[in-house]
């Protein structure tokens, strides 16, 4: 025999607990909130991935510059624009860019004729110079390499909707 707990005088047995419809409404609201939040989480993950790639590339370029200065020799940092892979000339290090990242290398004509695709760091502290742009469509980062001093500077900005359409 099943016994049930007595209900207070002002409540009927059917009012005890949640009704199935109330539970379904609560689940629908919760799932709607999750569906609204997921795109933002993916966007944040993409931004973090691009930022991590910029930091890794900047570190690789600085390491190659420092090795050229320390050894007094020319070091070539190779950039494969098609596959998004950057190879260090001084160390056995490779940086792979996140999938969907656009990579643009801008250099002077003189520097472009000296190397296929990448940067040269010379033992006297100079470099071939140029600018490497990374973009995921919403954010654009640039890594600039000064030809005279081989200084490496990064910058970032969010791309506006009008720029995205161009």
Tens-place pLDDT, residues 132-160: 999 988 889 999 999 999 999 999 876 55
pTM: 0.71
**Domain 18-165: assigned CATH number:** 3.55.40.10
Give me the torsion for CA of 20, 25, 26, 31, rounded to 10°.
130
Tens-place pLDDT, residues 7-57: 555 556 555 667 888 889 999 999 988 888 777 766 767 778 889 999 999
Tens-place pLDDT, residues 61-95: 999 999 999 999 999 999 998 899 999 999 999 99
- Look at strands 130-135 and 139-145 and give their pairing: antiparallel
Contacts of residue 77, defined as CB under 8 A and 6 or more positions apart, other chains included, come to 60, 61, 64, 86, 87, 88, 89, 118, 119, 120, 121
């Amino acid at each position: 025999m099943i016994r049930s707990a007595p209900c207070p005088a002002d409540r009927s047995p059917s009012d005890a607990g949640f009704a199935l419809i109330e539970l379904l409404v609560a689940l629908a609201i919760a799932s709607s909130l999750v569906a609204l939040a997921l795109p933002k989480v993916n966007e944040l993950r993409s931004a973090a991935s691009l930022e991590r790639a910029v930091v890794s590339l900047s570190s690789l370029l600085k390491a190659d510059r420092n090795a050229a200065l320390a050894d007094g020799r020319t070091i070539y940092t190779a950039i494969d624009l098609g596959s998004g892979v950057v190879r260090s000339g001084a160390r056995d290090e490779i940086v792979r860019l996140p999938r969907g990242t656009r990579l643009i290398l801008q250099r002077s004509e003189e520097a472009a004729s000296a190397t296929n695709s990448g940067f040269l760091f010379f033992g006297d502290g100079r470099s071939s110079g140029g600018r490497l742009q990374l973009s995921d469509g919403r954010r654009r980062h640039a890594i600039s390499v000064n030809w005279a001093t081989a200084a490496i500077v990064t910058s970032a900005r969010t791309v506006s909707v009008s720029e995205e359409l161009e």
